[in-house]
């Protein structure tokens, strides 16, 4: 039996994710990307990212988290980004990018995950972004 308080908390949690994904799409578009939020990406088993973007020949798959100080990305979610890019985007891998995006208050931190880690099955159990991190991916190039 799910209490009403639990339902309200779940709704709040999902709304935060929706908000961050929508803000990221606007931020990407402002920086010259074509971007779209994938509305069914939440906890499904399908290999779909939260946000898909394209700029020139490059395609980006984003997993988005909204947090205060740190964001965790389980291996399953990172794997979904690579599966999406590998199975559904028919271009060479040098043009495909799996990006972890942490929305920490007003600050965004982006971390690109290396293809070689995924190909060698070396993804960590959890990837983490902390508010003091710098990230390794910048929207502006």
Query: Are 11 and 2 spatial neighbours (Cβ–Cβ below 8 Å)?
Result: no
Contact 28, 51 (CB under 8 A): yes
Active site residue 46: no
For residue 114, give both structure tokens. Answer: 């290396």
Helices (H), 31-138: 75-88, 115-119
Count of CA atoms in the C-beta half-sphere (13 A) of 84: 27
The residues annotated with a catalytic role in the active site are 41
């Amino acid at each position: 039996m799910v209490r009403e308080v639990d339902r309200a908390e779940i709704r709040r949690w999902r709304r935060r994710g929706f908000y961050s994904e929508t803000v990221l799409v606007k931020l990407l578009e402002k920086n010259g990307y074509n971007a779209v939020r994938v509305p069914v990406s939440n906890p499904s088993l399908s290999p779909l990212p939260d946000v898909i973007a394209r700029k020139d020949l490059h395609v980006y798959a984003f997993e988005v988290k909204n947090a205060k100080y740190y964001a965790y990305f389980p291996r399953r979610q990172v794997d979904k980004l690579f599966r999406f890019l590998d199975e559904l985007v028919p271009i060479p891998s040098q043009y495909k990018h799996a990006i972890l995006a942490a929305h920490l208050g007003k600050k965004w931190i982006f971390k690109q995950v290396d293809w070689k880690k995924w190909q060698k099955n070396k993804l960590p159990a959890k990837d983490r972004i902390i508010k003091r991190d710098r990230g390794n991916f910048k929207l502006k190039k």
